[in-house]
Homo-oligomer: A and B are copies of this chain.
């Protein structure tokens, strides 16, 4: 078994690494400054409510009056959520933040700051870390969500955990649990695009051949639907909302369970929210991708029938599609294009459902 170094820290047989006794910038502190420099270069973090950023025991954040604080955290682990050989470092940096920010979007909130917990092997301290921080910085600017603090350590594999702090006006957060029977189910964007992008990435030389393919871009650099989520909250249109991170067939049941309801999904309508696949794409049916594909970070929201007409066909260029309705019967049914009914089974990602 590998002897954990931390557990031996301070033991007198350990060699002292520094004998100078001077307070020089070194080790973890130097890394923190590098992270801090790379992610807060051109913005005043105070502007987002962060009173005290990196470098102390903890960060200080000042919430706004009339708002509740949104708290969410997400794993992003090498080998589980991304592949070191396939995913560019910049995508890893972008996506670890985008995933957690998407949870804030799913509440109708606005991100305010984030904490980064990062563990990685020394060999990746150079180019890889630079690329990672560049992607993180781009995402941080894009989402208006500066780095406020975190924790770093060495590890054989890359381990990332991101905590995002957001805000929403008190009482206005959109929960999973407030859908009502009869509500129309809407989804944003085209579902399954990110999964198709991953399939391209996994092809030999896929990344190079399809570098500018929008499907690959959706997989590598997803855009949480912040503006849409905030608009739905402001307009009081939606009753419930969730982000589609593990696939419609996995995330819709979560909203159903929380609301104590079932759902009916209309295949012919869902097809309109399915991805446009490039020629010579491996034989996957777009409907399958739309049902089971993960990593889209689109929003699924429910709207009372009386308000459904007020939902536009697109929002800031993102299509909004009615794909079904909430039902009192607590099962999930897929209605085929021939009007046949079949159970809608969870085919997306749930690490604890597998028998492995």
Interface residues of A (CB under 8 A from B): 1-2, 4-7, 9-12, 14, 16-23, 25-31, 51-52, 55-63, 65, 68-75, 77, 79-83, 85, 103-104, 106-107, 109, 113, 115, 117, 119, 122, 148-155, 159, 161, 163, 165-166, 168, 170, 173, 175-177, 192, 195, 198-199, 202, 241-243, 246-247, 253-254, 256-258, 262, 284-285, 288-289, 291-294, 330-333, 342-356
User: A148–B69 Cα gap in the complex (Å)?
Assistant: 12
- How far does the Cβ of A186 sit from chain B's closest Cβ, in whole Å? 16
Instruction: Pick from B14, B65, B73, B80: contact of A150, CB below 8 A.
Output: B73
Taking each of A72, A170, A241, A247, which has the highest tally of chain B beta carbons within 10 Å of its own beta carbon?
A72
Given the known A-B contacts A289-B10, A356-B122, are A1 and B79 also in contact in the complex, defined by CB atoms under 8 Å?
yes
**A1-B16 Cα distance, complex, nearest whole Å:** 37
A16 to chain B, nearest CB (A): 5
| C-alpha gap A200/B163 in the complex (Å) | 36
Indicate if the CB atoms of B152 and A4 lie closer than 8 Å.
Answer: no
Question: Does the CB pair A103–B57 fall under 8 Å?
Answer: yes
A151 near B257 with CB under 8 A, answer no
**What residues of B have a CB within 8 angstroms of the CB of A31 in the complex?**
352
Residues of B within 8 A of A77 (CB): 119, 153, 155, 159
